Amino acid sequence: MKGSDISDVIIICLYVEDLLITGHNVASIEKFKGRLKNEFEMSDLGKLNYFLGLEFHYASDGIVLHQRKYIAYVLKRFHMENCNEAETPMEANLKLSKSEDEQAVDATLFKQVVGSLRFICNTRSDINYVVRSVSRFVSKPKTSYLIAAKRILRYLKGTQDYGLAFPTSNNETQIEVEGFSDSNWCGDKDDRRNTSGYWFRFRNSPISWSSKKHNIVALSSCEAEYVAAAQAACQAVWPESLLEELKISYVKPMRLNADNKFVISLAKNPIAHGWSKHIKTKYHFLRDQVSKEKLTVVHCRTNVQVADSLTKPMRSDRFKELRNMLGIVKADRLN
């Protein structure tokens, strides 16, 4: 196998006693399954349609991975199947904070709701930030936290058919992996720590995303953006090693998009040390990756910063725009 030729590769995903087998060459897959059947007693269930609560919608121009059945089950479980729908999973500019004055709610119920929502995040990056926000209060849930969690359910009721799109990209001649990194400075009202988000795509398909609160308090928005980019640089090591293991050639160096020019300057220019000597050494992993030419940090406009949706709640119009950029589409949208 040379270059990006993966025609003979067969990938197997094993979960307990269930196998998912995929590859480019159908004949090779059938031959491999025949050899397995000769060695083991097993059944071929055909094309993958449902696996571990995940559903697959096939179209001529791609696949949509969704959880419509599971969302319907969750809504029924928590008596929300007849609730009013919400356009967004959280009100714009809403910041949840600890409150001693509010009435406490059933902690077991709240944990069950949050746990169900966290599983749905596997195919719905558009709710990743808000689910992480309510997850912080599972130990002592209050009324406002439960209302916020129920709003997420109301949003999911109106978007049950939405899922993660993996469009075909046969027209592309080069294989690219691209990341986006962003941060919301002082986003937490209680401890003033920042929320960072990153989102990676392989060609046009999303492969990795995260919304996470920093464990430090940044002294400026520039520092917050730099720390977020450093965390994204750590994540970039994973697709790099995976593609190399699969012997797939891709465009190097990998591109990381940030909408703050300070991040680019600090990552490329060690002279900026005077601005950043208080930043912990581990966050300069970004600079190390850039100097080794494994990663390049480029500037992107704020209006195309996909990771922005992973750092804060937004207005309906902006949220829907970024939701589409995240690759969250209606299952029947692909033809």
For 328, the 3-state DSSP assignment is strand
**pLDDT computed for residue 171 by the predictor:** 62
**Token pair recorded at residue 218:** 């940044």
* CB-count exposure of residue 258 (10 Å: 0-12, 13-18, 19+): buried
Calculate mean pLDDT across residues 306-332: 92
Out of 88-92, 148-152, 265-269, pick the least confident. Answer: 265-269
- 85 secondary structure, DSSP code: P
Q: How far apart are CA 81 and CA 150, in angstroms?
A: 11
**pLDDT computed for residue 211 by the predictor:** 93
**pTM, whole model, 2 decimals?**
0.87
Q: How far apart are CA 83 and CA 160, in angstroms?
A: 13
How many DSSP H helices and E strands does the chain contain?
A: 10, 12
Structure confidence by residue, pLDDT tens digits, 18-35? 889 988 888 889 999 999
pLDDT at 170 over 80: no
Cα distance between the two ends of the chain: 32
Higher per-residue pLDDT: 175 or 197: 197
The CA R_g of the chain, rounded to the nearest whole Å, is: 22
DSSP string, 276-322: HTTS-GGGGHHHHHHHTTSEEEEE--GGG-GGGGGTS---HHHHHHH
Rounded to 10 degrees, what is the CA torsion of 217, 220, 221, 222? -110
Instruction: Band the pLDDT of 4: cuts 50, 70, 90.
Output: very low
The answer to whether residues 326 and 159 touch, using CB atoms and an 8 Å cutoff, is no
The answer to whether residues 225 and 260 touch, using CB atoms and an 8 Å cutoff, is yes
**pLDDT computed for residue 5 by the predictor:** 55
Name the residue type at position 26.
V
Instruction: Band the pLDDT of 173: cuts 50, 70, 90.
Output: low
Q: 321, 57, 273, 312: which is closest to 195 by C-alpha?
A: 312
The answer to whether residues 151 and 228 touch, using CB atoms and an 8 Å cutoff, is no
Give ranges for CATH 3.30.420.10 in the chain.
171-300
Q: Is 74 left (phi over 0), alpha (psi -120 to 50) or beta?
A: alpha
Domain 171-300 listed as CATH 3.30.300.30: no
Out of 80-84, 152-156, 267-271, pick the least confident. Answer: 267-271
